[in-house]
Chains A and B, each alone.
Chain A
Amino acid sequence: MIEIKNLCKVFGDKRAVDDVSFRVEEGEIMGFLGPNGAGKSTTLNILTGYLSATSGTCLVDGMDILEQPLEAKRNIGFLPEMPPLYTDMTVKEYLNFIYDLKGCTFPREQHLREICDVVKIGDVFGRLIGNLSKGYRQRVGIAQALIGNPRVLIFDEPTVGLDPKQIIDIRNLIRMLGKEHTIILSTHILPEVQAVCDRIVVINKGKLVANEKTEDLVTAVDGSRKMVAKIVGPQEDVLKALRTVAGIRTVEVLGKRDTDSISYLIESEERVDARKPLFYMLSTKGWPLVGLEGVELSLEDIFIRLVGESRRKSRKGGEG
């Protein structure tokens, strides 16, 4: 459905996007993950025709965004990082304007009503956009992208600045839209893509780092686990005993975080589940385990791992 080939974008002497290629198949929800300033927005802006690429091509449904811009754009609904809203219009006026702008031919009233039902903005339909809260504005932004029923939806960081409940609402909405549309969801939050996407493309400093199925990527970076264990018992003895457990690589004392237990940061060997041996060891010693939780990988950890892995691979390739 979408095909990006060898995309490069140079701003002055900065390479914002450097030789990025990927495909998104029909009906897929693709997560586009990267830290701030990685080139996510630039890539999406090129894909939607707002910017032009320095080199490389973007095809939407087989049409080049530069050569057949109008036809290609008709297939795309885009929610930019900042929802492009006219604050001096009411939601109704705004959506009608978008409807005209996109030159839609559906029955107007019905089409707009359906979209308002989907994104749940029916109750603010007559209000000025300038007076709406951030969450509602985001929804109006999504509604705008949905008008004309485009086959591809592109959302650039749709949950930034929303409260947790709104974030969940928007994620559910995206998951629902994913049943009928091809979606690209850009974000810098890993759990978000894990929750919603079929496939993840990771980009860092303008370069493609990974392009894998969500499960594959998560297990790849999740191979070695970090966890925090809260154990009641004498610190020195516990520490010594922990180091003897099979599968545990390092143990670090985090100190007393509770009234009676001491917290330890435990890192297990790659692809080994050390939780069971840990539990049996503690129970034979008679030290109660009052808490055990996994430490979620931050995006930085993922990059270090992914970048490290790709370097290892390329080094191996060089030797072979």
Chain B
Amino acid sequence: MFAIYKRELRSYFITPIGYIFCGVFLLVSGLLFYQCTLARQSMDSLNMYFLLLICVFAILIPLLTMKLLAEDRRSKTEQLLMTAPVSLTGMILGKYFAALTIYGCTFLVNAFNFVLLYRYGNPNTAAIFANILGVFLLGAAFVAIGLFLSSLTQNQLIAAVSSIGVIVAMLLLYLIGDAIPYAWLRSVLQWFSVLDRYIPFMNQSLSIPAVVYYLSLSAVFVFLTVRVYDKRRWS
């Protein structure tokens, strides 16, 4: 598993995709950050910044995950991985953690933006940490979704576009929810909606149910990916 993790991590920086991801992430996030805080001379729109960042993830994270499994399937190297003495779960987790590491490290670098705030004012540390944790977990779930969709195709473009579609649909549940007249359906949708779950983090509180929800969302999609591979073997 560790060998696969290492190779996958390296491959991000052999091909330009890793640099593009980091570069675009930091650039867009930096611009948003500037617009939402420094330019306004206030920290009221900090939540706005994080919400916009989540929307950026909807496009950026699929670019990071599209090649994870689709590429191996196309070039037949998956035959190597699947006949090596490594379990399926180990192989999928290796890939998942590789993408998660790139995403997490970039996010960590991005967090230095907040240091600036302390120079100019007295920001609400609790709000910042709650948001960072929430956005990170949300992104981790997106990585798992991208991983899953990458396992369904051997075409990276299809994997990327369908991941964007699924993630955007999940974000839109937030808006759709309000428009639905039936209370029971609305509560079901809100239960599933990733953004509704995010609200507590915006209110500076660490919501345990939300953390569990995001972690299990990741786990479910990683698990489903393993099942996809298992099923392909049998059919």
Binding site for B on A (CB under 8 A): 11, 45, 48-52, 69-71, 73-74, 76, 78, 80, 82, 84-89, 93, 97-98, 100-103, 144
18 intermolecular pairs with C-beta atoms under 8 Å apart: A51-B233, A69-B85, A70-B85, A73-B84, A78-B83, A84-B75, A84-B78, A85-B75, A86-B7, A86-B75, A87-B75, A88-B14, A89-B7, A98-B80, A98-B84, A101-B81, A102-B85, A103-B3
Residues on the A chain within 8 Å of B6, using CB: 97, 100
B84 to chain A, nearest CB (A): 5
Residues on the B chain within 8 Å of A49, using CB: 82-83
Q: Does B114 count as interface, using CB distance less than 8 angstroms? A: no
Judge whether B83 and A50 touch: CB under 8 Å: yes
Complex-state Cα separation, A102 to B3, whole angstroms: 9
Q: How large is the interface on B (under 10, 10 to 19, 20 to 34, 35 or more residues)?
A: 20 to 34
Q: Does B206 count as interface, using CB distance less than 8 angstroms? A: no
Nearest A residue to B76 by beta-carbon distance? A82
Residues on the A chain within 8 Å of B235, using CB: 11
Among B10, B79, B85, B234, contact of A52 (Cβ-Cβ < 8 Å) = B234
The listed residue with most A CB atoms (<10 A of its CB), out of B4, B79, B83, is B83
Given contacts A51-B233, A73-B84, A102-B85, contact A88 B11 (CB under 8 A): yes
Complex-state Cα separation, A31 to B6, whole angstroms: 37
Binding site for A on B (CB under 8 A): 2-4, 6-7, 10-11, 14-15, 75-87, 233-235
Residues on the A chain within 8 Å of B2, using CB: 100
Residues on the B chain within 8 Å of A80, using CB: 76, 79-80, 83
Complex-state Cα separation, A102 to B7, whole angstroms: 13
Judge whether B14 and A89 touch: CB under 8 Å: yes
Complex-state Cα separation, A84 to B79, whole angstroms: 7
Given contacts A88-B14, A88-B15, A89-B14, contact A101 B79 (CB under 8 A): no
Main secondary structure of the interface of B (DSSP, over half): helix
Nearest B residue to A85 by beta-carbon distance? B77
Complex-state Cα separation, A164 to B76, whole angstroms: 26
The listed residue with most A CB atoms (<10 A of its CB), out of B6, B87, B233, is B233
Residues on the B chain within 8 Å of A102, using CB: 84-85
A56 to chain B, nearest CB (A): 14
Nearest B residue to A11 by beta-carbon distance? B235
Judge whether B84 and A50 touch: CB under 8 Å: no
Judge whether B76 and A50 touch: CB under 8 Å: no
Among A11, A48, A86, A103, contact of B83 (Cβ-Cβ < 8 Å) = A48
* Interface pairs A-B: 10 shortest CB-CB: A100-B3, A84-B80, A101-B3, A48-B83, A73-B85, A84-B77, A74-B85, A52-B233, A70-B85, A82-B76
Judge whether A97 and B87 touch: CB under 8 Å: no
Residues on the B chain within 8 Å of A45, using CB: 79
Judge whether A101 and B77 touch: CB under 8 Å: no
Q: With A84-B77, A87-B75 given, can you name 15 additional A-B contacts, CB distance below 8 Å?
A: A11-B235, A48-B83, A49-B83, A50-B82, A69-B85, A73-B84, A78-B83, A80-B79, A80-B80, A82-B76, A84-B75, A86-B11, A86-B75, A98-B80, A101-B4
